[in-house]
Structure 1
Amino acid sequence: MSQQSDICIKVQTQYLEDHFPKSDSKYAFAYRINIINNSDQDYQLLRRYWLITDGNGEKTEVSGDGVIGEQPHIPAGKSYQYTSGAILDTPVGTMQGHYELIDSQGNTIKAPIPVFRLAVSTLVN
């Protein structure tokens, strides 16, 4: 499995303030992922891996087939977007990971997802 720099991953995050009552001490975040295929190959996303770290340094690993119940095909020069979420015990945390993709010749690649921050907007300057 090789690394692939022709797959670009962009992330936007949002704190979901009204998701839990204030008394629950849980923090819900949405993240929107845009996977851009800048290569001349078509790819299918097979698996995902996430490392989620909360503000206390507690780590959670999540892996599995596809994203949001899909294993999307991403044609050369196109992109795929989806929205998902994470729940933390702290108002700040990070996520990072990778996607495993396969091309039409059966070659697999690992596209890194750069670390991004999940934060309650009122706590961030």
Structure 2
Amino acid sequence: MVFKISEGVKVSVETYYQPEYSDPVAAEFMFAYRITIENNNTFPVKLTQRHWNIFDSNGSYKEIDGEGVVGVQPVILPGDQYQYVSGCNLKTEMGKMEGNYSMENLHTKKQFKVNIPMFEMIAPFKNN
């Protein structure tokens, strides 16, 4: 697990290779990731946008932007956390992702960025 704290918000990431959804012969490698977002501030925050940088070990790169996460824009109260699971399909057995969330302080309506730590996605057989 990796984590990063920025602007009083801790983002932790765990990754999992999903062999049942992967087809190495067709160059399809599916990974899931679980993200936990902890609000260590004294004010509630709302996650409004996400931005991802996705790197595949074949040299390809893509950026993904969107509203919220997994179809919602969660509000996270002080001391609480929000967790979700999503996935990423790569063309090789290794890659990495990083990005940021746009958040809103619900008391002041001020927008701020929270960094998502870089995390690796590696098929277990690649480590042998």
Report if TM-score (shorter chain) is over 0.5: yes
Aligned residue for 1:18, secondary structure, equals helix
The one-letter amino acid of 2:48's match is L
Q: Which residue of 2 aligns with 1:113?
A: 116
Q: Distance in 1 between matches of 2:118 and 2:74?
A: 23
Structure 2: distance between partners of 1:108 and 1:67: 17
Alpha-carbon offset, residue 121 of structure 1:
1.1
- Secondary structure at the counterpart of residue 86 of structure 2: strand
1:49 maps to which residue?
51
- When normalised by structure 1's length, the TM-score is 0.93
The one of 75, 82, 87 equivalent to 1:73 is 75
Q: Does 1:8 align with 2:19?
A: no
User: Among 52, 56, 65, which residue is 1:63 paired with?
Assistant: 65
TM-score normalized by the length of structure 2: 0.91
Letter of the 1:118 partner, please give it. M
1:115 and 1:22 map into 2 onto residues whose CA distance is: 24
Point out 4+ residue stretches in structure 1 off by more than 2 angstroms. 20-23
Structure 1 residues not aligned, in runs of 5+:
none
Report the number of matched residues. Answer: 123
RMSD: 1.4
Name the aligned partner's letter for residue 112 of structure 2. I
Structure 2 spans left out of the alignment, 5+ residues = 1-5
Q: How do residues 21-60 of structure 1 correspond to structure 2 at under 5 angstroms?
A: 21-60=23-62
Identity of aligned residues (%): 35
Distance 1:60 1:21 in 2: 21
- Aligned match for 1:122, one of 121, 125, 128: 125
- What is the identity, as a one-letter code, of the residue corresponding to 1:42? P
Q: In the TM superposition, what is the alpha-carbon distance from 1:21 to its structure 2 partner?
A: 3.4
